[in-house]
Structure 1
């Protein structure tokens, strides 16, 4: 598998750090210092950015599958995963403006075809997975997944924040902690998607060289 130099990894890490720093500054200026009160509702910058990051992740996976033409099964499964997460993040709007339970139907409609396709090509999927298992992209994906779908849920439990703040419990503090943690996780997933796209391009170029 194509490897990365220390200089390349360090430069990308610097860009990712700058991205996170800018993101947190924006959250501070817009949501935390909201003119009326701190706002981490469905219309907050934090929530909108979460949706935007998931959308970008989905697009990057589709580019890998359709344009780069390698890791087709892995990218399909990840595209479905990101798209489902995007739908779940916007469940309130879908239930309000479409119909109650709309997001659940959309999840089923996206998940089933992707899973069936990967199951039919499971041998190719496992071969592709072996190409990314030790990559920077997969490491970032694992970190983002654990941060967003495991840690943020545990960290955002009301019981924890009631225990920490006691009689001074403020719901906005709990919401801010949970939503910002999720935003961090989604950022890691975006970084993972970028790295997987770059890896896919390197794999494609190597195959073209070998074929030539």
Structure 2
């Protein structure tokens, strides 16, 4: 699409839809299902599904683009580690905190693969950061790794809300923001996949 105004309008509408989707999922959890965004909730399940799809898309791309394979496996491993962290409740059934070991194994595998093919790692990283959708992914990661953590600080909501609802409000804010970030990362990965498929 050559018209930059139309492109930016479409981008705005896409980002707005991502934000509305995250808020709508919270409404589904709290108003319809009447749960408190616990480990098994629509919000958590969608987060995990989006992370799985994002990681899978980069892994698929690593198979299709040999020249960029190292970077794509590294990226797939990164999102895979985030998925394992989100599934910590499941891994706790093995024993508490065991998710760390599984995430570490995946991280080591991804790093070793990238280190063994340094040219495909660097070429892939250059290609990745030059993607039109990369800023969307970067923004999503800032939301997940920084903004949601800051907004999830217990003391903020203890001071603002107090009483028995502190935990619920904290979870709503933190998980809703995280879902928005995961949605942005998935949208960026899909846009990259479509572009790569068109130019392949």
Deviates more, 1:129-138 or 1:151-160: 129-138
Shift in Å, 1:185: 0.7
C-alpha distance 203-70 of structure 1, shift in aligned 2 (>3 A): farther
Shift in Å, 1:21: 2.4
Question: What corresponds to 2:92 in structure 1?
Answer: 95
Question: What corresponds to 2:130 in structure 1?
Answer: 134
Question: What corresponds to 1:25 in structure 2?
Answer: 24
Larger Rg over CA atoms? 1
1:61 lines up with 2:53 in the alignment: no
Question: What corresponds to 2:109 in structure 1?
Answer: 113
8 Å CA contact 1:148–1:185 kept in 2: the answer is yes
**SS of match in other structure, 1:39:** coil
Deviations 1:84-140 (A, max 9, x none): 1111101111121x3344312211221111101112222332222222323322211
8 Å CA contact 1:64–1:75 kept in 2: the answer is yes
Deviations 1:164-211 (A, max 9, x none): 23567621011100000110111111012112213433453xxxxxxx
1:52 lines up with 2:49 in the alignment: yes
Shift in Å, 1:80: 0.4
Aligned length: 199
| TM-score normalised by L of structure 1 | 0.82
C-alpha distance 63-44 of structure 1, shift in aligned 2 (>3 A): same
| TM-score normalised by L of structure 2 | 0.86
Distance in 1 (alpha carbons) for counterparts of 2:117 and 2:12:
34
Deviations 1:11-61 (A, max 9, x none): 355345335424432331x212145x4421011111111001101101111
Question: How much is the aligned-residue C-alpha RMSD, in angstroms?
Answer: 2.4
Identify the match of residue 145 of structure 1 among 137, 141, 153.
141
8 Å CA contact 2:37–2:44 kept in 1: the answer is yes
Deviations 1:59-96 (A, max 9, x none): 11112111354531221011101111111101111121
Structure 2 unmatched runs, 5+: none
8 Å CA contact 2:68–2:123 kept in 1: the answer is no
